């Protein structure tokens, strides 16, 4: 199974998603914003990054850029509450693995993570 990084400013969302994915056998780490995600990405290796789009200290595209700078094989999955076509296109162009809108079906997230690992 894979090494996962969950980036979201909502602690409860990280917690719930982490518990769910841990049951599938993944190893989970959490970051509460763009800054901590970027520093974790430079220090550790991950297979999959799940990142929120809108966070107080920046947006998910920065996490995507940082992830792909370190390792182009990382699958970055976007979670967003406010989906726009521009954002979807931009994230795909920059090499995002998938784009999931909130509220999401946890089954879909699990399946996407499994595909990305």
- Alpha-carbon dihedral angle through residues 97, 101, 107, 110, given to the nearest 10 degrees: 30
Comparing CB distances to another protein, the nearer of 72 and 82 is 82
Find the shortest distance in angstroms from Cβ 74 to another protein. Answer: 23
The answer to whether 85 contacts another protein (rule: CB under 8 A) is no
Contact 90, 64 (CB under 8 A): no
Find the shortest distance in angstroms from Cβ 97 to another protein. Answer: 19
**Across-strand partners of 78?**
51, 99
**Is residue 51 exposed (0-12), middle (13-18) or buried (19+ Cβ within 10 Å)?**
buried
Segment 7-66, which members bind another protein (CB under 8 A)? 9-10, 12-13, 15-17, 19-20, 23, 32-33, 54-56
Find the shortest distance in angstroms from Cβ 55 to another protein. Answer: 8
Find the shortest distance in angstroms from Cβ 82 to another protein. Answer: 4
In angstroms, the Cα distances linking 58 to 46, 79, 105, 109 are 21, 14, 25, 23
Q: Which residues bind another protein (CB under 8 A)?
A: 9-10, 12-13, 15-17, 19-20, 23, 32-33, 54-56, 79, 81-82, 102-107, 109
């Amino acid at each position: 199974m894979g090494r996962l990084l969950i980036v979201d400013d909502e602690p409860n969302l990280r917690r719930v998603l982490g518990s769910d994915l841990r049951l599938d056998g993944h190893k989970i780490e959490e970051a509460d914003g763009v800054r901590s995600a970027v520093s974790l990405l430079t220090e550790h290796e991950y297979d999959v990054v799940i990142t929120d789009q809108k966070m107080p200290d920046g947006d998910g595209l920065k996490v995507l850029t940082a992830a792909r700078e370190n390792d182009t094989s990382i699958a970055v999955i976007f979670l967003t509450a406010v989906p726009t076509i521009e954002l979807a296109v931009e994230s795909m162009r920059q090499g995002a693995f998938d784009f999931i809108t909130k509220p999401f079906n946890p089954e879909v997230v699990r399946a996407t993570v499994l595909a990305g690992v």
